Amino acid sequence: MAKFIKHNCYVGIVGAGSIGVAWAVVFATRGYPVRLYEVATDRILHAKDEFLSKISELKKFGLIENDIDAIAPLLSIDTDLESITDKAIHIQECIPEIKEDKKKLFALLSELTPPDVPIASSTSFLPASTFASDVSHRERCLVIHPGNPPYLLRIAEIVPAPFTSMSVVEKSKQLMIDVQMHPIVLSHETTGFVFNRLQGALLNEAYSLVDDGIVSIEDIDLIVRDALGLRWSVLGPFETVDLNTRGGIKQHAARMGPTYEKIGAERGTNTSWGVELVDKVAAARRAKLPLEKWEERVSWRDRAMMTLIIARRKFLGQD
């Protein structure tokens, strides 16, 4: 048997929709046997084929190291919930975003799963405290929200409820690291977590600009795809503006902050960046990138985007 395979353990996944199958890819490609629970006949029929298609594509692009013939048998599909929980080291729930259904499922999972095993929801926006407060051993319940698809967007938001044990948070963090996901541990619950609060801010403004008749839907997508998104594929928003303005992010805040505050006011929100907040962000950026290395990093950014542009042209047949 292949050396990378984890023996005498497995991950249980509840729900064989797109996220459930995607999580199965994440765990299986790192050697974890996966038991995927599903009762819907159409999903039972198609989940295995989707799994095989995805790992084949990842192998084709050189994004997984291990042999497909070794990975494929690691996924099994079960219709008995108890069979995926009995000896699992981790449970990942992936059912639709219906709070009452999650409440019922977590109550059942908490009874079937050994008390030291984390039970995580993949929910995009429902805090665990809204559906797991009354279950037994609730201290092992939390949210692990992935980017979609997680086998390409390698981040996972770990969102503990007020009652979640820090040992469970740490255990979940280490599991994510082991499957090559970057864990983002939130200090506490917040509506939409971080991923969707950031995405939602952009979507809210995009919808508003279209509603105001200022720009077309197609041009919104164009601006994000060919400009903002191109930079964001190699830089985060703070580093982006840090490199956009000579003198760094503090200079950017001084020049652009009032304009962003005015934009926020037009939408009825307060987006003022206080001096202490700007200083905090600027200090973090300077610790990461001293100003004397600013030019070097700008050149690196440009080379990175040139590489991406060439790769995209080739992929789209435009070279």
Q: Are 154 and 182 a contacting pair, CB within 8 Å?
A: yes
- Tokens 């005498």 sit at which residue? 8
What is the rounded distance in angstroms from the CA atom of residue 114 to the CA atom of residue 64? Answer: 32
For tokens 């809204």, name the residue. 130
Q: How many CA atoms lie within 13 A of 28 on its CB side?
A: 29
**Please, what are the domains in the chain?**
11-185 (3.40.50.720), 195-315 (1.10.1040)
Answer for the pair 247, 291: CB distance below 8 angstroms, yes or no: yes
pLDDT tens for the chain, 319 residues: list them.
578 888 889 999 999 999 999 999 999 999 999 999 999 999 999 999 999 999 999 999 999 999 999 999 999 999 999 999 988 999 999 999 999 999 999 999 999 999 999 999 999 999 999 999 999 999 999 999 999 999 999 999 999 999 999 999 999 999 999 999 999 999 999 999 999 999 999 999 999 999 999 999 999 999 999 999 999 999 999 999 999 999 999 999 999 999 999 999 999 988 889 999 999 999 999 999 999 999 999 999 999 999 999 999 999 988 6
**Helix/strand/coil for 120:** strand
3 state SS of 95? coil
Residue in the structure block whose two tokens are 């505050």: 261
d(CA 135, CA 47): 30
